[in-house]
Amino acid sequence: MLIYAALAAFGFLFLIVMLFLGEFSGGDQDAGHDGHVEPGGVDHGGPSVLSARIMAAFLTAFGVGGVVGRYYDLSHPAASGVGVVSGIVMAGLVYQFAKMLYSQQASVQVLMPGLIGRSAEVSVAIPAGGVGQISLMASGERSEHIARSAGDQAIPRGAEVVVTGLRGDSLVVAPPKTPAPGGTR
């Protein structure tokens, strides 16, 4: 019975540590995320059955199920079976709860490389050699980003621009190419 109690205590302690330290380390770590990002540079995220919280919930419920099984004088294989079933049920509940929370999020993460080539509007004028701000639509949501001019020329507020690249944590923008007189685009 001691091994089951130790497993339950370890899983519970891990959950408590994640509760208090999760915000500092960036939240739940996902051992099963493959880094897939949809076209357009948008990562919708979502829970995985291999997230640390779900695995810790399984471990805690497995330990508790094993303790209960041994309390009722079940053999170790039978107590482990009770632990596995209770662990799967608990992990399933935690997964469904996490899935519900992820579906309630108001926005998606917009990945910077996916913005290259998009049209935007300058919302804060970009001075020559300096930074300003642009506003653009990504995944049906308006987002604001720090921007620099591609040619180090000033771009006034309200001007239409195209994102041409990235420089540090800012986007590089340029006015859209205009056709030469008498020519085509």
Task: Say if CB 62 and CB 89 are below 8 A apart.
Answer: no
Top CATH class, 111-174: mainly beta
Confidence of residue 35 (pLDDT cuts 50, 70, 90): very low
Q: Rounded to two decimals, what is the model's pTM?
A: 0.51
CA dihedral 121→126→130→135, nearest 10 degrees, is -20
Does pLDDT of 163 surpass 50? Answer: yes
Query: What pLDDT, on a 0 to 100 scale, did the predictor assign at position 24?
Result: 53
Q: Which range is least confidently modeled, 98-107, 127-136, 155-164?
A: 98-107
Give the other-Cβ count within 10 Å of 93's Cβ: 13
**Domain ranges in the chain?**
2-105, 111-174
Q: Which range is least confidently modeled, 52-66, 93-107, 162-176?
A: 93-107
